[in-house]
Every structure is written in structure tokens, then in C-alpha cells.
Structure 1
Amino acid sequence: MGHMDHFSAGWVTPVLSYAMACVGSALGLRCTVRALEATGASKRNWLTLASFAIGSGIWTMHFVAMMGFSVEGTPIRYDVPMTVLSLVMAIAVVSAGVFTAGYGRSRVTAVVLGGLGTGLGVAAMHYTGMAALNLHGSVGYDPLLVIASVAIAVAAATAALTLSLIVRGPVLAALAALVMGLAVSSMHYTAMYAVTVHLAPSNAELAGATATEFLFPLAVLLGSFLFLTSAYVALSPTGKRHESAVAAELLREVELTTA
């Protein structure tokens, strides 16, 4: 059994990875809300941006956290194509969830299906990213913790979508992003606790890139993309009249479903 350290770089990786998850979530949820006010190509563009933001936010969170992951007795390398695939997967699966939420007939099904899609996107990305790990030994998982991690991801994504689609105001929007960020982080660390590594010591050269060679530049690139896009979205004007109309429509729907 290899001794694993999830925080070998100190508190920097969990804090920074949580921040990245929150920024990606905030941006993605904001774009999803914008998409609901829009129609046609504009709606599609907002939903696409939301998928990219949440997908890359989740991915950056995972790999920034992974920079603090080390196993005593073996170096760790990352399979580059697999790692890239995990990013593509995150964006693709999240976009299925986000588009479902954006084009959903009723808000309730939109939130449920959107949350399910987005949550599964988080999980698919995480386990694909983990499959990209190369080390001297084999990686095993505790099936119960794996199921728990997927459940956390789905529940959290659903909660965040509910908060952002049903509530209004900057405070609640920030809260939704923090919930989603916390969810992604707790899913990540739950999934990491599911891991056991059985070492097979060897001096053979491991295939793949080190975290600093490959993950770091990509994470910096995606992080900058998220921050710049957030600034742009925050500064671009919103249709306030639309927002109040959407809110009014929502209240009617809620009244109808609860009546």
C-alpha cells in the first residue's frame, strides 16, 4: 500500500482549486441565467459559454488539486491524451446538462435533468482524469465512495442550478457559485479518498508528463480564460426587464406546481 498525500503542496492546492471551481461555476451559472432571457443564436452562445466555463472550471479544480497529490515511493505522470480527453468530456457532458436546462419545457425537469447531466459530467471528468495517472503500481477504488462521490456531484449541480434559476440577486448568485464550488471540491476529495494505490516499485521510466510540465500551463491558461470571461460577462449589460419577467413566470410555475 502506497502512502498517499492529498495536500503535499500545503493549503495552496485545496484553496486555489476551490477558488477555480467557484469562478467557473459563477460564470457558468450566470451564463445559464442569461441564456434563459435570450433566444435564438444568442441563447445558444450563452449556453455554450456556460458549458465551457463550468467544464473548464471543474477540470482546472481537479488538476490544481491533483498537483497536491503524491504517492510515497513512486513518481506520478499524466497521460497527455487522456488528460485532454477528460477536459473535452467535462465540457461535452456538462453542455448536455446545461442545454437541457436552457431549453427545458418546465423549470423543474430542466433543473433535474440539467443537474443530473452536469453532475455526471463532473464525475466522468474526474474518473477519466484519474485514469490518466501513470505510476509504479495499480490504482483501486472503494466502490461505495465512488458512488457517494457521483451522488455528491449530481446533488450539488442540481442545488446550484436550482439556486441560480429560481432565485434572484447577486448575494444568492454568489451563494449558488459557492455551493457548486464546494460541491465540486467535496466530490473531488471524496473520490480521492476512494483511491488505494498498490505499489509495484520499479526504476522503469514512466510514460506521460509531470504535473508542472503539462497540467500547470494548461490550468493557468484555462484559469485566465475563466477570469477574463467572468469580467466580460459581469460588465456586459443584462436585460433587467426580461429578468423580472422570467422571475414572475417562475413564481407562477411554482404556484401552479405546488397548488
Structure 2
Amino acid sequence: MDGTVDGFRYEWVTPVAAYVMACLGGALGLRCIVRSLLDGQSWRSGWLALGAASIGCGIWTMHFIAMIGFQVEEAPIGYDGGLTVLSLAVAVLVVGIGVFIVGCRGAGPAALCLAGTVTGLGVAAMHYLGMAAMHLDGSIRYDPFTVALSVLIAVVAATAALWAAVTIRGFLTSLGASLVMGVAVSGMHYTGMAAVSVDVHGTAPSWAGDAPTSLLLPMLIGPVVFLLLATVVVMFDPLLVLGEGDWNRTSRISGTGGAVVPEDPVAGRPGPRRSWSDG
């Protein structure tokens, strides 16, 4: 028996909340990658790791917030906790590979293509691994063409996001790029969900796991708190809150990471080297 699939159980509440989390993770990740390009080798890896974790957590959080609104009317849904956590690890790890490729090798065509492909496949792997964590009294089927389209969207979106991260420096332009990235990630998710159909067995429930809200809501707390903490780190970093004009006018970064040589306002010449720690 074909199950009645509904991806909008709470109407637009879950899609909008999921989109906001995708945008937040994307915005933090893009700004962290930009920051890594302005820093010396000592802190670059740390900024890249923070960026990868932000993007990965944002995508994972987006997916499972959206899944709270997914239901099959004829069968209750449960989730396997181990696979759910594994999907988060895959998201952060594979996105990290792509981020480190562009962070260390730049945005050349070959590096960008490789990084975008790896990151996009990681996003798709997280999505379908998260779907594999879902259990219900039925069989889940996927339309191959729609699945392929969702993977293509993920690869294109990841490539565009990584290009934006190493090309766009201004705060407002990065914010706009993160909004576009949120649309792409959400589009990939709901395209993948459009590929789903369910054949309900109509027997006694074979899954005795936790209900979606009882398992997913507590698990979402950790990544959401991490994203909020990452937001604080990014907001209080001086180089990331400068306007685009101030950035181009004042920032000349030294090789030691974080030292800026401000321009002498009278003579128009570089003044003495100061670090942000000098006040």
C-alpha cells in the first residue's frame, strides 16, 4: 500500500526554520574561510576547521529540522540515534575536506572543482545517511532521476559557496552569498525529499525507536549551541566586522597572523606595526 507522504506537517514553520539554520551555518563558514585567508599559517587551520564545522552543523541542523515536519500518515516514524550522529560527523568531515582544499590551495579551477565536488557529495551523503536513519513500518523508495538532480544541486551549490568564500570579501556581499547558499541547500533537501515514496506494509510496527521530536529536538541542541558560539567568535573578531571600504583601506596583514599596519592619517604613510592585542 502506498503511504501518504507529507513533508510539511507544520506547514511553513519547519522549512523557514531549516532555511535560517542553513543560512547561519553558511554565513559563519564563509566568514571563517575569508578570515583564514587574512591570517598567517599559525591560525589558518583553526579558522578553516571552524568554518567547516559551521557549514556542516548548519546543513545537518537544516536537514533534521526539516525532517521534524516529515510524516507518513499510515505509519509512525522513528530514528536510529547512531546513524543520526554519524550523518553529522560525515557532514563536518567531508565539508572540511573541501574547505581545506580551497583554503590551502586557493580558488584555481582545478582546486575549486575538486573541493566543490567533494563538498557537494558530502552534503548529499549526509542527507541520504540521515534518511537511512529513519525507520517505519514500510519500504522507502527513491526516484533515481530526482536523486541525481539533488546530488547535482548539492555539488553546484557547494562549488558556488566555496568560490564565494575565497572571492567575496565584503560583509554584506558575504551575507548575500549565504542567503543564496541557504536557498541551494534547502533546495537540495526538498528535491531529495521529492524523490521519496513509501510502500506501507500495514503490519504491526517494526520499529520501536524514539519518535522524531523526542530524539531529534534534544540532538539538535548541541549543533545549534555550537553555531551560536561560533557566531560570537566571528562577531567579536575585528577583521570580520570591518566594512568593505575599511577593509581595503586599513588592512595589511603581517605574516605572523593578525598584525595590522594602519595608515598614518596625516602623512598617508604606514604607521608603526600594531597588533589587535595592543588595544
Q: Give the TM-score normalised by the residue count of structure 2.
A: 0.83
- Where in structure 2 are the equivalents of 1:19-34 lying within 5 Å? 19-34=20-35
- Please tell me the residue identity of whatever aligns with 2:171: P
Q: Is the 8 A contact 1:103 1:110 kept in 2?
A: no
3-state secondary structure, aligned to 1:10: coil
Per the alignment, residue 36 of structure 1 pairs with 37
Per the alignment, residue 67 of structure 2 pairs with 66
* Runs of 4+ that moved beyond 4 A: none
Q: CA deviation at 1:106?
A: 5.0
Per the alignment, residue 128 of structure 1 pairs with 129
- Taking the aligned partners of 1:210 and 1:73, their CA distance within structure 2 comes to 15
Q: CA deviation at 1:149?
A: 0.3
Q: Is the 8 A contact 2:137 2:206 kept in 1?
A: no
Provide Cα deviations, 1:151-205, integer angstroms capped at 9, x if missing partner. Answer: 0011111112222321231221011101111111000000000011100012235
Higher helix share: 1
Per the alignment, residue 228 of structure 1 pairs with 229
- Taking the aligned partners of 2:45 and 2:229, their CA distance within structure 1 comes to 20
3-state secondary structure, aligned to 2:197: strand
Whether 1:88 aligns to 2:89 is yes
- Taking the aligned partners of 1:79 and 1:106, their CA distance within structure 2 comes to 38
Gap regions ≥5 residues in structure 1 = 244-259
Q: Is the 8 A contact 1:163 1:172 kept in 2?
A: no
Over aligned residue pairs, what C-alpha RMSD do you find? 1.5
Provide Cα deviations, 1:74-112, integer angstroms capped at 9, x if missing partner. Answer: 000001111111000001110111111111155333322
Residues 111 and 71 (structure 1), Cα distance of their counterparts in 2 relative to 1, 3 Å cut:
same
Per the alignment, residue 154 of structure 1 pairs with 155
Per the alignment, residue 173 of structure 1 pairs with 174
Residues 242 and 99 (structure 1), Cα distance of their counterparts in 2 relative to 1, 3 Å cut:
farther
Q: CA deviation at 1:221?
A: 2.5
3-state secondary structure, aligned to 2:205: coil
- Taking the aligned partners of 1:148 and 1:66, their CA distance within structure 2 comes to 20
- Taking the aligned partners of 2:117 and 2:31, their CA distance within structure 1 comes to 19
Provide Cα deviations, 1:116-155, integer angstroms capped at 9, x if missing partner. Answer: 2221111010000000010000001001111100100111
Q: Is the 8 A contact 1:23 1:227 kept in 2?
A: no
Gap regions ≥5 residues in structure 2 = 241-246, 254-279
Per the alignment, residue 276 of structure 2 pairs with none
Per the alignment, residue 191 of structure 1 pairs with 192
Q: CA deviation at 1:34?
A: 1.0
Per the alignment, residue 54 of structure 2 pairs with 53
Q: Is the 8 A contact 1:102 1:110 kept in 2?
A: no
Q: Give the TM-score normalised by the residue count of structure 1.
A: 0.89
Q: Is the 8 A contact 2:107 2:163 kept in 1?
A: no
- Please tell me the residue identity of whatever aligns with 2:222: L
Q: Is the 8 A contact 2:99 2:162 kept in 1?
A: no
- Please tell me the residue identity of whatever aligns with 1:230: T
Per the alignment, residue 108 of structure 1 pairs with 109
3-state secondary structure, aligned to 2:27: helix
Percent identical: 49
Aligned residues: 243
Q: CA deviation at 1:42?
A: 0.7
- Taking the aligned partners of 1:105 and 1:82, their CA distance within structure 2 comes to 34
